[in-house]
Amino acid sequence: MHVNYDPQIAYECVQCGRGCFNRWDINVEPEVAQSVRGHALELRVIQDRGQAFREHEGQLIIHKDKDHPRCGFLKEDLLCSIHSELGYQAKPLTCQQYPYVFVQTPDRQIHASAVYSCTAVREELGPPLSESRESIEDLLRRGARVHRLDGNIEVLPPFVTTYSEIQAYEAELNRRLGQMPISAAFEEAILGLANALSSLGQPDEELLLEEGFLASTWGRAKLVPQEARTNLQLVKTILSMGLLKPCLPSQDREVWKKIDAAVLGDAELEIPDFNWHAPLSELDLWLTEGVGHRFDGQIKRFQGSLLFRKAHLTMGGLLPGLILVWIMPSIIRLLTGLHAWKEQVESTQSNFLWALETAETHLVGHTFDTVPVYQRAAWQSVAISRSYPL
C-alpha cells in the first residue's frame, strides 16, 4: 500500500471531545453495538436519552436528538466511555478514524489527510501527519473508510475525463498556484474550464472529453472578456451568502429567507444569529476593515489540504470542486467577520478558528450534502460563459 501524507497537517489528539459534540451522524458497526448491549455503558445512555443506537437509511448510528446533540458515550471528562472501559479498538471505526480522511486515486495511491473540524488539526497541535504512519496504515488494513476514485473522473456530470488528463491539469494548476495569487489562479482555472464546457452543449449521457480538452482550457482563460470575470464575482457573492445558511448556529429557515431577500436587493441583511442588521454593502466594508487579509496564510493551508485530499475531484466533479476550494477564503472571512461582529471586537484568532471549524464541518460534507450547491454554481459559470463565446 502506498500512502502519501498531507504535509499541511500536524496532529496529536488533545482529548477535547469536540468532534463528539457535532451534529453529524456517527456510523456504528453491528459488532460494536453488540459488544455494549446490556453493558452498564449502554444502560447509562438509555437512561439519559431513551436509546443508544438507531437505524438511519439502513445504517446503524449513534442515537442523538435535538435535546441530546452530542454523542451519548462521551463522559463528563470529555473522554469516550467505550474507549475508557472497553479499549480503543472497541470504538466504532468512524471514531477510530476521526479526524483522518483517505482518498484513493485511480493509480492506487492513497492520500491521507485530516479534517479541520478537529481542534488539534485546526490549531496544528502535534507532530507532522507522517509520524502517525503506523496507526494510519493499521486503520487502512482494518477497513477504514476510503473514498475511492476509479475509472473516469467527473469534470461536471455528464462530462468525464481520464485520470491522466486530470494529473496533467493538476500539475499546471499547481504551477500557477506557485506563481500567482491563489484566487487569481483559481479564477483562471474556473473561467477557462467553464468557457470550454459552454462550447459543448449539455449531453444527456456521460460524455468522455477529448484528450487535450482540459489542457486547452488554460489558453481560453486568457481570452475571457472582463464582463465574464465581473459576472463570476457575482456568482461568488451569491454562493457565499448561500453557503452561509447551513453554517448558521440557529438553522432557522426564516433567517435563510431573509438572506435570500437581501441578496435579491429586496431588504437589508438581517442575521439574528450574529446580531447583524444592515445593508449587504456594510458587511463588505466590515469584512474589508474588520477581517482584511490577516488569516490568509492559515486559509491557504486549509486550501492546500483540500487539494491534497482531492476535494476538487470528490465534491461533484472538477469544476464544482475548484469552485469549492476557490470560495473557501470568502466564506471563512465572512464567518470570521460575523462572529467578531457578534462579540463586538475586531476579528481575532478565535473568531477565525470558529469560522474554519464551521466551514469544514458544514460545507465540505460532514453534515450537509453541499455537492448540489457547488454543481449549481458550476453550471451558472458555464451559463455565464455561453454569453461570451470565444
Report the residue from 5, 8, 19, 322 that binds ligand SF4 according to the rule CB under 6 A. 19
Scanning 7-15, 30-38, 51-59, 199-207 for contacts with ligand SF4 by CB under 6 A, the matching segment is: 7-15
Give 23 or 222: the residue with its C-beta nearer to ligand SF4. 23
Scanning 84-92, 112-120, 240-248, 324-332 for contacts with ligand SF4 by CB under 6 A, the matching segment is: 112-120
Scanning 12-20, 28-36, 129-137, 232-240 for contacts with ligand SF4 by CB under 6 A, the matching segment is: 12-20
Scanning 11-19, 160-168, 308-316, 352-360 for contacts with ligand SF4 by CB under 6 A, the matching segment is: 11-19
What is the DSSP track for 272-331? GGGTEEE-HHHHHHHIIIIITTTTHHHHHHHHHHHHHTTHHHHSSSHHHHHHHHHHHHHH
Report the residue from 5, 53, 73, 98 that binds ligand SF4 according to the rule CB under 6 A. 98
- Of 174, 122, 128, the C-alpha closest to 298 is 122
* Residue 238 makes contact with ligand SF4 by CB under 6 A: no
Scanning 17-25, 55-63, 243-251, 347-355 for contacts with ligand SF4 by CB under 6 A, the matching segment is: 17-25
* Residue 356 makes contact with ligand SF4 by CB under 6 A: no
Q: How far apart are CA 147 and CA 213, in angstroms?
A: 26
The CA-atom distances, in angstroms, between 234 and each of 199, 228, 252, 259, 381 are 22, 10, 25, 15, 10
Is there a contact between 337 and 287 (Cβ–Cβ < 8 Å)? yes
Residue 118 Cβ vs ligand SF4, minimum distance, rounded to whole Å: 3
Report the residue from 72, 99, 290, 329 that binds ligand SF4 according to the rule CB under 6 A. 99
Beta bridge partners of 101: 113
Report the residue from 94, 104, 119, 198 that binds ligand SF4 according to the rule CB under 6 A. 119
* Residue 15 makes contact with ligand SF4 by CB under 6 A: yes
Residue 99 Cβ vs ligand SF4, minimum distance, rounded to whole Å: 5
Which residue type is seen at 134?
Answer: E
Residue 354 Cβ vs ligand SF4, minimum distance, rounded to whole Å: 14
* Residue 100 makes contact with ligand SF4 by CB under 6 A: no
Determine how β-strand 59-62 pairs with β-strand 53-56: antiparallel
Residue 71 Cβ vs ligand SF4, minimum distance, rounded to whole Å: 11
For the chain, report the end-to-end CA distance as a whole number of angstroms.
45
Is there a contact between 158 and 378 (Cβ–Cβ < 8 Å)? no
* Residue 92 makes contact with ligand SF4 by CB under 6 A: no
Q: How far apart are CA 327 and CA 235, in angstroms?
A: 10
Give 119 or 195: the residue with its C-beta nearer to ligand SF4. 119
Is there a contact between 9 and 128 (Cβ–Cβ < 8 Å)? yes
Report the residue from 26, 36, 45, 120 that binds ligand SF4 according to the rule CB under 6 A. 120
* Residue 124 makes contact with ligand SF4 by CB under 6 A: no
* Residue 60 makes contact with ligand SF4 by CB under 6 A: no
Report the residue from 5, 6, 9, 17 that binds ligand SF4 according to the rule CB under 6 A. 17
Count the neighbouring beta carbons within 10 Å of the beta carbon of residue 11: 24
Residue 132 Cβ vs ligand SF4, minimum distance, rounded to whole Å: 12
* Residue 366 makes contact with ligand SF4 by CB under 6 A: no
Determine how β-strand 100-104 pairs with β-strand 53-56: unpaired
Describe the crossing of helices 226-247 and 253-263 by its angle, rounded to 10 degrees: 160
Count of residues touching ligand SF4 (by CB under 6 A): 12
State which of positions 292-351 bind ligand SF4 (CB under 6 A): none
Residue 313 Cβ vs ligand SF4, minimum distance, rounded to whole Å: 26
* Residue 16 makes contact with ligand SF4 by CB under 6 A: yes
Residue 170 Cβ vs ligand SF4, minimum distance, rounded to whole Å: 29
Determine how β-strand 147-148 pairs with β-strand 100-104: parallel
Give 18 or 44: the residue with its C-beta nearer to ligand SF4. 18
Q: How far apart are CA 236 and CA 296, in angstroms?
A: 18
Task: 21-26: list long-range contacts, CB under 8 Å, 24+ apart.
Answer: 21/69, 21/70, 21/71, 21/74, 22/117, 22/361, 22/366, 22/367, 23/64, 23/69, 23/367, 24/361, 24/366, 24/367, 25/56, 25/59, 25/61, 25/62, 26/61, 26/62, 26/71, 26/92, 26/94, 26/95
Residues that bind ligand SF4 (CB under 6 A): 13-19, 98-99, 118-120
